[in-house]
Structure 1
């Protein structure tokens, strides 16, 4: 069996703008045929990383390789890549067909072959029949489809997308991210996608790179990033979370007993985040749990639960259509719960019991 090839490698890249270090020695490998997403807050370095790969920027130190070839000094037009920007960047005075033919003409592709490639690209993005329209005659979603088709029509070895959906409304974003994933699967082109939207990253990617302050916090599959974060930043940035302060009381076998206020809760040793993953009695810790991992039940049904339960009081109830978002007062904190279950007895001020599985608690030493 052939080993999986890395289509892109970044080794020790550092990039500064004045006194501001935007990339602080990152290492990254992008596998052949995968869709890899760079995810993080504004200013974390994800677009700078993409621009290093594209050739729009050069690292102050470190190297960039594409297909095993060092490309530090290679200009963008010689890197055999397609790029899709946030702002579409279509030529307004050209029709859809002319926008797509532009790159093919530069590559001196014959007209008959140009038509075949353009027809195929428009078919892929489901824009056939609109080749004679101008960008101003298209919706935002259609313009972004054309921008994607223009990147694909030259059959690049690498497809780079820089926040391509951020200017669209929620429904169009959902529709187009499904289309991009379908296209990427169908064509098999290695794709690097930049976004600050967690849902986009988790739903589309083979792997996610979470970045923060010029460094990579974690690289893993979407499920691992969400369920098994390596750092406190990743846990807090991806999805919602509840946080408690506690003190370790007992560490026995794989079970950790933690005092939280006047109550005791439990966690699994495999769920310790951070560089120091050893805990001992007396250590101060933070406990994190996702809202959807918190169990809620009425006082009358509490005795039938097998979980360790804590008495709480409902402070907020929001109906979201397919689920309920509930806030309860517990141990002096407001705890968020996301559940599909609902009991008609639950009202503002109602007493309830909440609990969780020890395997769903994440710990980090203070």
Structure 2
């Protein structure tokens, strides 16, 4: 039985539908991320699970028990917010002790749990500090410890890293994943940051306008997006528009608007209508890391290889972002290294495999 079940959840604010009858199962011990742009319904979904919002229609179950109308404090969960929400007049120890006191945990057990939680989040020795005396990263660690110290059945995190700088976000991301696996607590993480979702999650739920676009592992979401929205929202891509010239079981031949002839895989058609025939207009998408650059046209391992000219080069530290014009099509390639002789204006060959290109019918 899933730890959390949502069935036909519908929620409306005025005329705005924020949850459009979604269904979702969250398995015991998994870290599931709700991902999507602002207003997609991810925080509303979290608040419905937490009990901060009632749904207009549908059911919510936690550990097999129906939770509709059950208040948050009776749902046995820990919550971590974007803004930390620590009591400013209490020390770290007092912040952690507060929830345990409400749960009527014995004093000796409280002391043991607080010590364990502080060790988990690597904050031992800072029990006597006040929130104002700590950095943002330290305050968020305390907020996580406070949520964990009550030993909840569910851990809910609402964009907990968005107020931190890039280095701290990366560090705490690693810590959250380590803690979650060590404790085995079922965790629901809300973010609009695709990198966070890909690095943290066992599964990702991509949401858009109150609907679930796709549910899958990070690899499934990135490599095999089911909709155009998912492909756009997760990662970067180059788009080309064209017309199907021929199609069979092995390949789809497309001519782009600028005359470029490309080969694609029939298994990589996105969207509801996956029936293509010659003459259909399509959009083609390919990710920059799938495009390799070469000095010669002879690349037998590549299904597509086209001569072009470098129009832009950006050094990113760990890779080069190179823009190449192929018969007027501007494509982006992400290369771990480039030929030292290359510069803007250099002629190169850009190549990729047919299965790396996605199509959608216009």
Q: Please report how far the alpha carbon of residue 129 of structure 1 lies from its aligned counterpart in structure 2 after TM superposition.
A: 1.0
Q: Partners of 2:299 and 2:350 in 1: how far apart?
A: 13
The structure 1 residue matched to 2:197, chosen from 192, 196, 201, is: 201
Q: Partners of 1:352 and 1:339 in 2: how far apart?
A: 13
Q: Partners of 1:76 and 1:361 in 2: how far apart?
A: 46
Q: Tell me how large the CA RMSD over aligned residues is.
A: 1.0
In 2 relative to 1, CA 263–333 (structure 1 residues): closer, same or farther, beyond 3 Å?
A: closer
2:70 matched to 1:64?
no
Equivalent residue, structure 1, for 2:209: 213
Equivalent residue, structure 1, for 2:260: 263
Please identify, of 156-165 and 15-24, the stretch whose mean Cα deviation from structure 2 is larger: 15-24
1:240-251 to 2 correspondences below 5 Å: 240-251=236-247
Equivalent residue, structure 2, for 1:107: 103
Q: Please report how far the alpha carbon of residue 305 of structure 1 lies from its aligned counterpart in structure 2 after TM superposition.
A: 4.8
Q: Partners of 2:210 and 2:322 in 1: how far apart?
A: 36
Q: Please report how far the alpha carbon of residue 108 of structure 1 lies from its aligned counterpart in structure 2 after TM superposition.
A: 0.8
Please identify, of 156-165 and 268-277, the stretch whose mean Cα deviation from structure 2 is larger: 268-277
Q: Please report how far the alpha carbon of residue 53 of structure 1 lies from its aligned counterpart in structure 2 after TM superposition.
A: 0.2
Q: Partners of 1:198 and 1:263 in 2: how far apart?
A: 32
Q: Please report how far the alpha carbon of residue 111 of structure 1 lies from its aligned counterpart in structure 2 after TM superposition.
A: 0.8
2:284 matched to 1:291?
no
Q: Partners of 1:173 and 1:263 in 2: how far apart?
A: 42
Equivalent residue, structure 1, for 2:23: 27
The structure 1 residue matched to 2:279, chosen from 266, 278, 282, is: 282
Question: TM-score when scaled to structure 2?
Answer: 0.98
Residues 326-354 of structure 1 show CA distances to partners (whole Å, capped at 9, x for unaligned) of 11122323211101131122111112111
2:308 matched to 1:335?
no
2:172 matched to 1:191?
no
Q: Partners of 1:306 and 1:146 in 2: how far apart?
A: 52
Q: Partners of 1:263 and 1:47 in 2: how far apart?
A: 43
Q: Please report how far the alpha carbon of residue 96 of structure 1 lies from its aligned counterpart in structure 2 after TM superposition.
A: 0.3
The structure 2 residue matched to 1:159, chosen from 155, 158, 161, is: 155
- Given that residues 323 and 331 in structure 2 are in contact (C-alpha distance below 8 angstroms), is that contact kept between their aligned partners in structure 1? yes
2:287 matched to 1:302?
no
Q: Please report how far the alpha carbon of residue 244 of structure 1 lies from its aligned counterpart in structure 2 after TM superposition.
A: 0.5
The structure 1 residue matched to 2:223, chosen from 199, 221, 227, is: 227
Q: Please report how far the alpha carbon of residue 81 of structure 1 lies from its aligned counterpart in structure 2 after TM superposition.
A: 0.2
Length, aligned pairs only: 360
Structure 2: segments with no counterpart, 5+ residues: none
Q: Partners of 1:365 and 1:264 in 2: how far apart?
A: 17
Equivalent residue, structure 2, for 1:86: 82
- Given that residues 309 and 345 in structure 2 are in contact (C-alpha distance below 8 angstroms), is that contact kept between their aligned partners in structure 1? yes
Q: Please report how far the alpha carbon of residue 304 of structure 1 lies from its aligned counterpart in structure 2 after TM superposition.
A: 4.7
Q: Partners of 1:266 and 1:66 in 2: how far apart?
A: 48
The structure 2 residue matched to 1:179, chosen from 175, 180, 189, is: 175
Q: Please report how far the alpha carbon of residue 266 of structure 1 lies from its aligned counterpart in structure 2 after TM superposition.
A: 0.9
Residues 136-180 of structure 1 show CA distances to partners (whole Å, capped at 9, x for unaligned) of 111100000000000000000000000000000000000001000
Equivalent residue, structure 2, for 1:354: 350
